[in-house]
Structure formats: C-alpha cells, structure tokens
C-alpha cells in the first residue's frame, strides 16, 4: 500500500516543525515543493505509515508528487514522512504523477492508503536479519528477535544483561549530551 496525503490550500506558516515557510497546494508548484509541503505534519498512525514504501501527495484532486518513504519522525502528536520525491523515469512516479486522487472513499480525512499496482515490485526487500529471505517489512516475523540474539551472542558474551546495561549507558550518555547541548542554546 501507499500512503496518500491530500494538501489543503496554500498558506504561509511560522514555527513549522519541519522549517517550512508554507503548507498546502498552489498552482504551478514543483514536485519537490509538493513533496515538502505534503510530507508532514499529519495525524496518522506512525507504525502504519512507516510500513509504506511510497507516498502520493494530492493537490486539487490530482497527484502532484510521488515520494519514497524512508522513515517517519514524530513531531509532537503528529507525524512527518522522511524520504524524497521520486525522479523522472521511476515507474511508480511516471504512472501516477498528474493522475486523479487514487483514494476515492468520500472521507474528508487527508490521510488515506491505497494500493498502486506499480509499487508491488518494490515492496519486497531482504530481511534485515541477513537470512536471505524477502519481506515487505524490516524483518520477517520473529527474525528481529533472532537478529538481536545474534548480536548479544557476538558482542556481549551471550549475556542479555550486558547488552541491556550497554544500552542504558549509551542512552544515559546521549541524554546527558542532549541536555548539555540544550543548556548551551541561547
């Protein structure tokens, strides 16, 4: 599935969490502008959004940009997509750019999901555990645990306690650095 994000009308903004000076759609906007305007910030399920490989940005009823989703970031109670607009020549972009909104369900919700036939060939990738099997997610079911256990065996003498202590120390150090940096800001 792809995520569909429907832009409202153009408006200037201040204090945008993504550093944008405007949101919404305006005629003659470039694909890059449409992607930046449309990739966030939205009320949506972060876990579901992170599973999508592609996003279509809709303005005035037509697709104005098609992007590849590489991740999501929380912006308070909203979510922003990470990724880039697809280049000319990409089969998903070329098939959908300029076409009508693929989500026709009568809902006013600007966030929707749809299947794009052209995306199927891109949905499967190697499982991140290194098992050489393909999946439409980061890991096949249970393979995330397998990967963590392999790292614990390899780097922490098979001791989950050593691993947990290492994570806690790393997070405490990162929090201290972050706190110190925040204290230094004017």
pLDDT digits (tens, 9 = 90+) for 97-142: 999 999 987 788 899 999 998 988 887 888 999 999 988 878 999 9
Segment 148-165 shows an average pLDDT of 95
Structural domain boundaries enclosing 138: 134-184
Do residues 16 and 49 both lie within one domain? yes
Do residues 59 and 106 both lie within one domain? yes
Do residues 38 and 111 both lie within one domain? yes
Structural domains counted in the chain: 2
This model's pTM is above 0.75: no
Do residues 100 and 156 both lie within one domain? no
Confidence of residue 84 (pLDDT cuts 50, 70, 90): very high
Q: What is the CA radius of gyration of the chain?
A: 20
**How buried is residue 11: exposed, middle or buried, by Cβ count under 10 Å (0-12/13-18/19+)?**
exposed
Segment 14-24 shows an average pLDDT of 93
- pLDDT tens digit string along 85-108? 999 999 999 999 999 999 987 788
Q: Does residue 109 have a cis peptide bond before it, meaning omega lies within 30 degrees of 0? A: no
d(CA 75, CA 73): 6
Confidence of residue 184 (pLDDT cuts 50, 70, 90): low
> Is residue 128 assigned to a domain?
no
């Amino acid at each position: 599935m792809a995520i569909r994000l429907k832009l409202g009308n153009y408006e200037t903004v201040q204090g945008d969490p993504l550093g944008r000076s405007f949101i919404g759609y305006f005629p003659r906007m470039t694909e890059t502008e449409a992607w930046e305007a449309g990739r966030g910030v939205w009320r949506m399920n972060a876990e579901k959004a992170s599973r999508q490989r592609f996003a279509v940005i809709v303005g005035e009823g037509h697709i104005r940009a098609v992007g590849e989703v590489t991740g999501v970031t929380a912006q308070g109670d909203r979510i922003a997509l990470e990724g880039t607009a697809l280049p000319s020549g990409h089969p998903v972009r070329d098939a959908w750019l300029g076409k009508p909104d693929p989500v026709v369900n009568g809902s006013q919700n600007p966030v929707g999901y749809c299947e794009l036939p052209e995306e199927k060939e891109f949905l499967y990738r190697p499982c991140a555990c290194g098992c050489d099997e393909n999946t439409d997610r980061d890991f096949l079911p249970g393979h995330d645990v397998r990967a963590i256990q392999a790292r614990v065996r390899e780097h922490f003498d098979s001791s989950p306690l050593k691993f947990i202590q290492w994570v806690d120390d790393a997070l405490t150090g990162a929090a201290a650095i972050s706190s110190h940096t925040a204290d230094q800001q004017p």
